[in-house]
Chains A and B, each alone.
Chain A
Amino acid sequence: MKNFFKSIGNYFKEFATALAKGDIGVKLSLFVMGAGYFARKQIINGLIMIALEAVFIIACVFYAAPNLAKFGTLGTVQFEQIFDPLTMTKTVNDYDNSFLILLNSIIALFIIVAFILVYIGNIKAVYRLQQRKEAGKHINTFVEDMKAMLNEKFHITLLTLPCIGIILMNVIPILVLIAVAFTNYDQQHMPPNALFTWVGWRNFTQLFTTSTTVTFGYSFGKILVWTLEWALLATFTTFIGGILMAQLINSKRTKLPKMWRTLFMVAIAVPQFVTLMLVRNFFADTGIVNTICSNIGLTSFLKSIGLVGSHLTYIPFLTSPGWAKVMIVLINIWVGIPYQMLIATGVLMNIPVDQLESARIDGANKFQIFCKITMPYILFITGPSLITDFVKNINNFNVIYLLTQDVYVTTDQLLANSNAKEVDLLVTWLFRLTNEYYNYKMASVIGIIVFVICAAFTLLTFTQMIKGNREEDFQ
């Protein structure tokens, strides 16, 4: 933390010295960004900077300013439509669209921050050029600058495009939805026909209240517990299963490993939405499995030991809470193990053979080798992915949604009041809240909570991994 503030301090200190000690070219750069480059005869760099500045000013005047002006209220002019009987046309007034104001304001803020960073960086860069000139060092031509992009500055070349993509499709949407959590954006306040506005922390308190009208608190508790149970079960069953299966297939004593692997891969060659929809019908209340089970007497046996309710004539694989949860985990094992097996196979191939050899010579048995060498090595490489798998499972939308949507109906009135089901994960709950009930505000709050949970679970482990500098252990 201390280092963080120190580096920010340094950042501005460098900026100040650049300004204080810079010559006329550097100081002129405050106003015309290319000036410093022109002073060192870097014409192309200078022109690029001037163009950038011009674009920014235009964007500020015509885009950022009008939107940011309304950011505090998210718009005040209600949508109105006037029908003109003479011309038979509808005229729409110049209304405010709260969502677009929110979105555009956030994009505008991004552009402004980015520009300020470029602006400060520019002054510093120009000052560095001045220093080089005074020291009599070589000043790069444009071509040489470009070449550096493939060498010492290669990371800039590599990371620019991916970062822009991430900002546009990930960071900005996330910021928009964090903002929505503090508004009353729902079915009654849908742009363009209605405005929505800021409401502070009201949605958050609602999520934790359980009263006769609001049951979000009750549903949230139930769904949170199931989400965590699910994520833990799903991650570990597939992870361990995948490694064991890879070991089994790759073992020297297994004949035709390639054929076995291919057979399992057939199962994942069929896309998830097909297999899951198929399996859902496979295990439907009137489906084929139920027919077979009742033919061989399994249904009546389960009834007699009380696992199936006495009023049912079928096994409620996906329609009663207990059965559905077990089935979901089992089906997920079926879906997930071949993937994990593939990853584990790739990793197992790269285990340092000499380590295995020497362990064997030292008289370690197979179990010891597996626990002391194979597992640590696998964990080292797939450790980060194990955590992301856990997070992915907390957010595992496909399995839950495709298996239970339209099939599972909750009988718990308290859950139904807040549009939830027993088998819902937090994410499927929030998806249905938005997609079916247009309750964007509550969905955003749940999204933030999911984020906090994932963050709490993973940050600890991750900082350990990054901090410990174990990256170079196996290099």
Chain B
Amino acid sequence: MKKTIDLVVRHLFLTFLVVIWLIPILWLLVTSFSGYKGINTAHFFPQTWSLANYKALFFEPDSVVQYVAWFKNTLVIAIFTCIISTVFVLMVSYAMSCLRFKGRKELMSFGIILNMFPGVLSMIAVYFVMKSLGLTNSHLGMIIVYSAASGLGYLITKGFMDTISVSLREAAWLEGASEATIFLKIIIPLSKPMVVYTVINAFLVPWGDFVLAKLMLNSGISNDWTIAIGLYNMLNKSLINKYFSIFCAGGVIVSIPISILFVLMQKFYVEGVTGGSVKG
């Protein structure tokens, strides 16, 4: 009896939380299907339904909406950034966690100090550096900006690698494996949950960032923009009443790749990988 009550309360509470978490998302979704262009402030659900916003997004590009071009730009930048950042983070984490070399602690402290500097501040200088290299308003420039310093974000992955039993590596050493082999064949497969975490994060940074993009892609040509700047621009005071529903449609579409990513990779979070590797 007590168990049943516990079960019901538990699930009711979860349902309540889910409702809170999903209300704004639901609003986003229903507004994207509304037949009304601006914000509907009187009703939660639109009175007329239509697909016009999606049609406008994909097939009727104008000076404000260039969604297909934005999507392509963002995807290219995000994929390359994701690959480079993940590789950098894993490399640094392994070096800091598993290798012992001169100057390791000094480097770690130095990295921590660097991390404390507000990114927003250095962004402006980054912008000037990129401008003097002629890399503003280019995909290459964006990829460099997003991924170059990503090695600093190694702490969580390192924390995870610290928990991987040292006897695994010692065993591999005795079998004659090189450090590179241990890294690629043992540590990375064992760190799968953290690799997934790193991949998702590395993809989300360029996908969701808008400050840096706004600073770097300043040519004013909407073709060059990423989704973030494009959508941000739509909610300008002068544009919001004409484009709010289209903004919602754009928001729904931009979330789809991330949702797929999450669903595909969710199981890695759930599997406890190191649990069974070495007992004792």
Contacts and interface: CB of A to CB of B under 8 A. Distances in A.
Contacts of B262: 262, 265, 269
A248 B10 contact: yes
A25 interface: no
Given A165-B149, A248-B10, A287-B41, A455 B116 contact: yes
Contact of A388 (B115, B118, B149): B115
B120 A292 contact: no
B232 interface: yes
Nearest to A173: B125
A36 interface: no
Contacts of A426: 118
Interface string A283-300: 010111011100000000
B229 to A, nearest CB: 9
B248 A170 contact: no
Contacts of A249: 14
Given A266-B22, A388-B155, A288 B160 contact: no
Contacts of A475: 162-166
Main secondary structure of the interface of A (DSSP, over half): helix
B18 interface: yes
A382 B121 contact: no
Interface stretch (A53-61, A122-130, A200-208, A274-282): A274-282
Contact of A271 (B21, B162, B207): B207
Contacts of A52: none
A345 B272 CA distance: 10
B39 interface: yes
Given A271-B255, A349-B272, A385-B155, A462 B149 contact: no
B254 A406 contact: no
Contacts of A272: 208
Contact of A255 (B11, B97, B149, B248): B11
A430 B120 contact: yes
A431 B120 contact: yes
Nearest to B94: A158
B121 A427 contact: yes
A273 B231 contact: yes
A248 B14 contact: yes
Question: How many of chain A's residues touch chain B, expressed as a range?
Answer: 35 or more
Contact of B101 (A155, A245, A273, A282): A155
B77 interface: no
Contacts of B210: 273
Contact of B163 (A174, A282, A284, A474): A474
Interface string A322-359: 00000000000010001000110110011001000000
Given A269-B262, A451-B116, A103 B121 contact: no
Contacts of B21: 263-264, 266-267, 334, 338
A450 interface: yes
A39 B166 CA distance: 42
A260 B266 CA distance: 12
Nearest to A398: B211
Contacts of B14: 248-249, 254, 260
Interface string B104-130: 110111011111111111111110110
Interface stretch (B48-56, B57-65, B176-184): B176-184
Most buried by A among B20, B107, B109, B125: B125
Given A166-B152, A264-B18, A273 B228 contact: yes
B193 A385 contact: no
A270 B208 CA distance: 9
Given A277-B232, A406-B237, A254 B208 contact: no
Contacts, number: 304
Contacts of B71: none
A381 interface: yes
A447 interface: yes
A345 B269 contact: yes
A172 B123 CA distance: 11
Nearest to A331: B24
A100 B125 CA distance: 11
Contacts of B248: 278
B63 to A, nearest CB: 20
B40 interface: yes
B240 to A, nearest CB: 8
Nearest to B204: A271
Contacts of B275: 349-350, 353
A269 B121 contact: no
Contacts of A159: 91-92, 95, 107, 151
A410 interface: no
Contact of A397 (B91, B211, B228): B211
Nearest to B125: A173
B114 A170 contact: yes
A381 B25 contact: no
B251 A278 contact: yes
B251 A350 contact: no
Contacts of A292: 44
B99 A154 contact: yes
A350 B25 contact: no
B155 to A, nearest CB: 5
Interface string B143-172: 011011111100110011011111000000
Contact of B258 (A271, A343, A345, A381): A271
Contacts of A472: 162, 166
Interface in A423-442: 426-428, 430-431, 434-435, 440
15 contacts: A150-B178, A169-B149, A170-B114, A258-B270, A265-B262, A265-B266, A266-B259, A267-B22, A278-B24, A288-B44, A346-B197, A383-B159, A384-B156, A397-B120, A466-B108
Given A158-B99, A281-B244, A466-B105, 16 more contacts: A151-B179, A155-B104, A157-B180, A170-B149, A262-B262, A272-B208, A278-B24, A292-B44, A345-B269, A350-B272, A382-B159, A391-B115, A395-B118, A426-B118, A431-B211, A471-B97
Interface of A: 99-100, 103, 150-152, 154-155, 157-159, 161-163, 165-166, 168-174, 176-177, 180, 245, 248-249, 251, 253-255, 258, 260-267, 269-275, 277-279, 281-282, 284, 286-288, 290-292, 334, 338, 342-343, 345-346, 349-350, 353, 380-385, 388, 391, 394-395, 397-398, 401, 406, 426-428, 430-431, 434-435, 440, 443-444, 447, 450-451, 454-455, 458-459, 462-463, 466, 471-472, 474-475
The 7 closest A-B pairs by CB, nearest first: A162-B151, A173-B125, A165-B148, A447-B121, A349-B272, A271-B208, A454-B116
